[in-house]
Amino acid sequence: MIYSMTGFGRGTSTSPTKKITVEIKSLNSKQLDLSMRVPGYFRELEVEVRNSLLKKLERGKVDLSVMVENTAPEAPANVNTEVLSAYKTQIEQAAQRLGVPVPHDWFSILMRMPESMKTQLQTLEESDIKAFRDSCSEAAQNLTDFREMEGKKLYSFFEEKIHNIGALLEKVEPFEKDRVIKIRERLETQLSRLNTIEYDKGRLEQELIFYIEKLDVTEEKLRLRSHLNYFRETMGAKEEKPACGQGKKLGFIAQEMGREINTLGSKSNDAEMQKIVVMMKDELEQIKEQVLNVL
């Protein structure tokens, strides 16, 4: 089974005072590139969450964002009368010393002074931490499920392309046999025009056999079939969890397939065979593009 690196997952959990929603989206990347946007009071859990996601997601460009909605009534803000009283005393003393009148609108002046209001600092409860962890875990699992679903689509796509390359490879054989006859006829026709030159027909036959052997593509066809089967086996390998590096392995196999197809094209020496090779290359390029999305 193969998994895609592309996916999206959301997890939501609640505590007595908060509703926490975590969203994770992932794109393809050579390694895990994790970006996290979390509220300041959850920063102490960032390393823990990062290590957990590293084990679960393994590869991809991953963006995690956390949204927190306070569900508890807002804590009331109280006027800090002690601070205001101290400010008023100091202002009166300053006015007397400087010989200036005291202000008439005391309230508007005092309320603009620092710490004129008492506010309760937001604290992180154990229930909030649990809700945050649960949301992250749920989002990661949903992302993994999404990746698995996308992986099934990739599996079907690769199966179709591998089948097409195999079918095109079968079409090479008739042209391969006709090609030998055409090469022989072409050489004999060229030699028949050399009326004034005598040549050893036995030696010609030996050279012709040697030339045809150099153009033989039997080994390339066998290796290409082997690579096609290996690609299928790798896709169908059963894993208890997403197999990190499976995409890289499929990429290496696709490169080997490309080498055999290129050699097949260089040895073809036949217009119809070259057309088939071009179609095989087109199918392979589509495989290479999508292999980049495999985990």
pLDDT at 38: 87
The pLDDT value given to residue 76: 58
Average pLDDT for the chain: 84
Q: Which range has the worst mean pLDDT, 117-121, 194-198, 288-292? A: 117-121
When pLDDT is averaged across residues 84-112 and rounded to a whole number, the result is 84
pLDDT, greater one: 216 or 26: 26
Selected residue with higher pLDDT from 8 and 239: 8
Task: Identify which has the larger pLDDT, 205 or 221.
Answer: 221
Q: Which top CATH class is 7-73+127-145? A: alpha beta
Output the pLDDT for position 242. Answer: 47
Query: Which parts of 39-80 fold into alpha helices (H)?
Result: 46-57
Alpha carbons 23 and 63: distance in angstroms, whole number? 8
| Residue 116: other Cβ atoms inside 10 A | 15
- Specify the pairing of strand 78-79 against strand 60-70: unpaired
Q: Quick one: pLDDT band at residue 121, thresholds 50, 70, 90?
A: very low
pLDDT in tens, 132-173: 999 999 999 999 999 999 999 999 999 999 999 999 999 988
Q: Write down the domain spans for the chain.
A: 7-73+127-145, 78-118, 150-291
